[in-house]
Amino acid sequence: MDNDTELLTGVSIDELEALAAGVLVPTAQTRLDELMAGAKQQSLSANDAAELDDLLNKVDQLNLLKARARYTIRELGAKASNT
């Protein structure tokens, strides 16, 4: 487990739990909802489409970070029960 590159090291359990529960800030979520509605209606400008792509990329990165935090919590729990 020491060589597991997916583990988030140097982070407390409380911090990992906060990361695992993380969400977009409300203003970003509202804007994402607006852009998604525009995309559904096929009425996005090029700038709006680029903004949507950027926000979706951020959501993807947030989801990966949340998954790594949950994985780290699980692995730390397994390590603690094995000691």
Query: Which H helix or E strand runs over 70?
Result: helix 46-82
Q: What's the structural domain count of the chain?
A: 1
**pLDDT(83) > 90:** no
Tell me the pLDDT tens digit for each residue of 25-76.
Answer: 999 999 999 999 999 999 999 999 999 999 999 999 999 999 999 999 999 9
- Reported confidence tier of residue 80, pLDDT bands at 50, 70, 90: confident
**Contact between 20 and 63 (Cβ < 8 Å):** no
* pLDDT at res. 82: 67
Handedness of CA 19, 22, 27, 30 (dihedral sign): positive
Structure tokens, 79: 């390590």
* pLDDT at res. 30: 98
Tell me the pLDDT tens digit for each residue of 2-12.
Answer: 568 999 999 99
The domain containing residue 70 runs over which residues?
13-82
